Structure 1
Amino acid sequence: MENTQVDTKIAPYQEKAGEEYMNDAQIEHFRQILENWRAQLRAEVDRTVHHMQDEAANFPDPNDRATQEEEFTLELRTRDRERKLIKKIDESLVDLDKGDYGFCESCGTEIGIRRLEARPTATLCIDCKTLDEIREKNRI
């Protein structure tokens, strides 16, 4: 499951009647969200590295050692998911620069501001995502 917690200090974008989709203000809004989110995730990675270096101990008791190894394994699994999310964020920032951000990579329609607020790395409109999930469910 993808962690979609984004910096809550950035207020949701307030659309104005008749404004063009993915105008400069919207692009800047989503760039700010994506860059802040990426910075938060990178800070977590750094904290994990320092924590593991500081906490790494050679416990003589096998139970203590196993507990620490399990804790480190869980942290590394979480960081791996976050590393993949950072890659998606980077791809979204490239799409912003190319002018492709906010448009469905499958059908080309607008993904929508509210959907992007909820999932800033979304690459499919809700209809294509729903179809994608139905296809995936039928493969299993």
Structure 2
Amino acid sequence: MSVDIPATEEELLAMPDEDYMNEAQLGYFRRLLLKEREEVETTLEEMRHGLGTAESSGDDSDRAASEEELRYTLRQADRETRLWRKINATLDRIDEGEYGYCDETGDPIGLKRLLLRPTATLSIEAKQRQEQQENHFARRRGGQ
């Protein structure tokens, strides 16, 4: 049996609430995540290529500028690698039937939130609680 995967966000959002995380919606997010993973992989490959061709000659200011650019590229590569891992973990969640539901509460995360952040694992309420706790602990550490 073939499932019609929504082509647009509007089609996805027009689906009834009782259809939450049906095959069509899962297919939409799988396609979205696979596209995003491909973009991340392309970016990482470009970074690897750029690192391989980086120059280290020139005067001290040229070398300093090159080193700063290298640090920036490595930080960006680290962020992209973390995103790549998160996308893969999210694709696993789709395969396991856990996608779209909050890790903390088990409640639906919601289509609008998933469209904004397809790798989300927490509902907006759970994420806000987590951030409040992090801020609370950060303030307590800073005040000691």
TM-score (normalised: structure 1): 0.87
Alignment of 1:1-140 (within 5 A): 11-12=8-9, 13-17=12-16, 19-54=18-53, 56-140=54-138
**What amino acid does structure 2 have at the position aligned with 1:103?**
Y
* Cα drift, residue 15 of structure 1: 2.7
**What amino acid does structure 1 have at the position aligned with 2:112?**
R
**What amino acid does structure 2 have at the position aligned with 1:128?**
A
> Percent identity of the aligned residues?
37
* Cα drift, residue 19 of structure 1: 4.4
Measured against aligned partners, the alpha-carbon deviations of 1:88-126 in whole angstroms (never above 9, x if no partner) come to 111100000000000000000000000000000100111
Of structures 1 and 2, the one with the larger relative CO (CA 8 A, separation 6+) is 1
Instruction: Indicate the SS of the match to 2:93.
Output: helix
Structure 1: unaligned runs, 5 residues or longer? 1-9
Measured against aligned partners, the alpha-carbon deviations of 1:65-90 in whole angstroms (never above 9, x if no partner) come to 11111111101101101101111111
**What amino acid does structure 1 have at the position aligned with 2:105?**
C
> Which has the larger Rg?
2
Number of aligned residues = 130
CA distance in 2, matches of 1:31, 1:97: 9
Q: 1:83 to 1:103 in 2, by over 3 A?
A: same
The range that moved more, 17-26 or 99-108, is 17-26
Q: 1:65 to 1:104 in 2, by over 3 A?
A: same
CA distance in 2, matches of 1:11, 1:40: 19
* Cα drift, residue 49 of structure 1: 1.1
* Cα drift, residue 14 of structure 1: 3.3
Structure 2: unaligned runs, 5 residues or longer? 1-6, 139-144
The range that moved more, 76-85 or 12-21, is 12-21
Q: 1:24 to 1:133 in 2, by over 3 A?
A: same
The answer to which structure has the higher helix fraction is 2
RMSD of Structure 2 on Structure 1 (CA): 1.3
CA distance in 2, matches of 1:17, 1:124: 22
